Structure 1
Amino acid sequence: MNYPNKVIKTGETNSQVVKAIQQRLIALGIGALQGTGTYGPKTVAAVKQFQALHRDKFGNPLIVDGEVGAITWEALFDVPAEPHTDAPNALLAKAIAVAETQIGVMEEPPGSNRGTQVNAYLASTNTPPGNYWCAAFVYWCFKKAAADLGIPNPVYKTAGCLDHWNHTQGQKITTAKAINNPSLIVPGSIFIKNHGGGFGHTGIVTAVSGGFIETIEGNSNPNGSSNGIGVFRLKFRKINSIEKGFIIYG
């Protein structure tokens, strides 16, 4: 059974989906379940037990909450989610293609928020060298993509992640909605993280795989930290780690 694009938890009315979860847990010898199709306290306890004993596909412990979201579903049924890599429109596809050409760009020197290409990203948003540049990288990629397609760039012009979220005219998808239904996120979406204090991080989604996204990010590191040294492709971000949400243009 494929993930039903919603978090399965207490009160779930789709008994067929609940029974599938219960039968899988019974087959694994977890929980004192009878497969009634009712997501009650015993099912919550069994799911928590499974989560405490298992890890996601990247080896990270599962969140023990008694709910079956996309990541727990993938681990429970041991069926890897098929990556969704098709952008829904020409602009998003082109923006991904442009971003891919920038993978490997590094600050000069590392840690300076400067460099020939980094300065170009910042300049595209009228921001001087030496500033954080992840949002400027996103804007630059979309600006070049739109120019190549001969269309206006719809992305809000800013080097600020949260400024982008607050002023965009694109479609916003909150993290809560994306966790419940990962299919709402499409390749070419822009993710917005919120680190507090007015700071954040952003990048371009290149693929969606269950509860995970693959991304290309500027001002990042191989481990995905913000204010990093270059442009990297990352494959391990969880949808539930994106504090603000996602923006879709086009």
Structure 2
Amino acid sequence: MQKTFYQKELLIKAPQQRNGTANNKKDIEKIQSWLNLFAMQNPSSGTATGIDGDFGPATEKAVLNYQQFNNLSQTGIIDQALFSLLTTPLKKAFEDPITGNNLRELVLSVAKNHLKNHPFELVIHNQSNTGPWVRSYMDGNEGTDWFWCMGFVQTVLDQAASIQGKNFKTLMPLTYSCDTVGTIGLQKKMLTRYQIARTNPSIIQPADVFLLQKTPNDWFHTGIVTAIHGDVIETIEGNTNADGSHNGNAVMNRIRNFKQSKIDFFSIAPLV
């Protein structure tokens, strides 16, 4: 795989605890982030807390609650073993065995595996588009200006292609820009414009990449096509929400009407 930053998100430098001599602000923020992500999936766990890099009484209580919720010894200390448990969803998304008969099936399986592990962004220091999932998709980058939908798409393509010993960068360059991928698609004649897709939907294939068009040379959101049904496509896409925003907060399975929206399609056929 080309995109391996996630591995750094699975580690802390030393055990972290209240008044610990080896405490590290970045590691504490990582711990606090995962405590909050755990709370989103387990609202009664009592692990939601501030993300400020300070291992104070609130963070200690959140850790104790996490340990109690999981029937673990209540020490209030996060060592590497406990942090590995916290970060299990990220590890599973990137490292679970994936099977498929061809690249398109692998792309869909990878995307679905990420989806079921609930990738979600956080707001840290008043910045959206932050947190361990965003950094993993965006090679360490995060913050309000770092829209991460293309980072998610390329992570999925990279992960699937690497299973077959292929390099996704033969299809498109490593980028976080929808415009870059759209432009490459036009240059290599791999981009089907929405007008053609509407009249000939058979061109659209599962595992292709959709690009929402603002103007003919400006695209603002992307995701993976998982199925085509009449006038609509099913997708798995990052940085979105229930309204289909291009700056949402999660990876979601969505339905989009390509007969009503200006959706261009980037074919992954050359990589298949």
Query: Do these two structures clear the TM 0.5 threshold for a shared fold by scoring above it?
Result: yes
Partner of 2:141: 128
> Which runs of structure 2 are paired with 1:172-191 in the superposition (5 Å)?
172-191=191-210
Kept in 1, the 8 Å contact 2:182–2:219? The answer is: no
In 1: Cα distance, 2:201 partner to 2:231 partner = 6
The verdict on how the C-alpha distance between 1:244 and 1:238 changes in structure 2, with shifts beyond 3 A counting, is closer
Partner of 1:90: 102
1:118 positional shift: 1.3
1:149 aligns with 2:189: no
TM-score w.r.t. the length of structure 2 is: 0.54
Identical-pair percentage: 32
In 1: Cα distance, 2:177 partner to 2:241 partner = 19
RMSD of the TM alignment (CA)? Answer: 2.3
Partner of 1:17: none
In 1: Cα distance, 2:261 partner to 2:153 partner = 16
Pick from 92, 99, 107 the counterpart of residue 111 of structure 2. Answer: 99
Runs of 4+ in 1 over 3 A off after TM superposition: 195-199
- Report SS of the residue matched to 1:101: helix
**Structure number with higher relative contact order (C-alpha < 8 Å, ≥ 6 residues apart):** 1
1:199 positional shift: 5.4
Residue correspondences, number: 159
In 2: Cα distance, 1:172 partner to 1:92 partner = 17
For structure 1, the residue ranges without an aligned partner over 5 or more in a row are: 1-88
TM-score w.r.t. the length of structure 1 is: 0.58
Structure richer in helix, relative to its length: 2
1:90 positional shift: 1.8
In 2: Cα distance, 1:94 partner to 1:170 partner = 24
Partner of 1:171: 190
The verdict on how the C-alpha distance between 1:93 and 1:242 changes in structure 2, with shifts beyond 3 A counting, is farther
1:201 aligns with 2:215: no
The verdict on how the C-alpha distance between 1:241 and 1:133 changes in structure 2, with shifts beyond 3 A counting, is farther
In 1: Cα distance, 2:131 partner to 2:113 partner = 17
1:246 positional shift: 0.1
1:217 aligns with 2:237: yes
In 1: Cα distance, 2:218 partner to 2:193 partner = 18
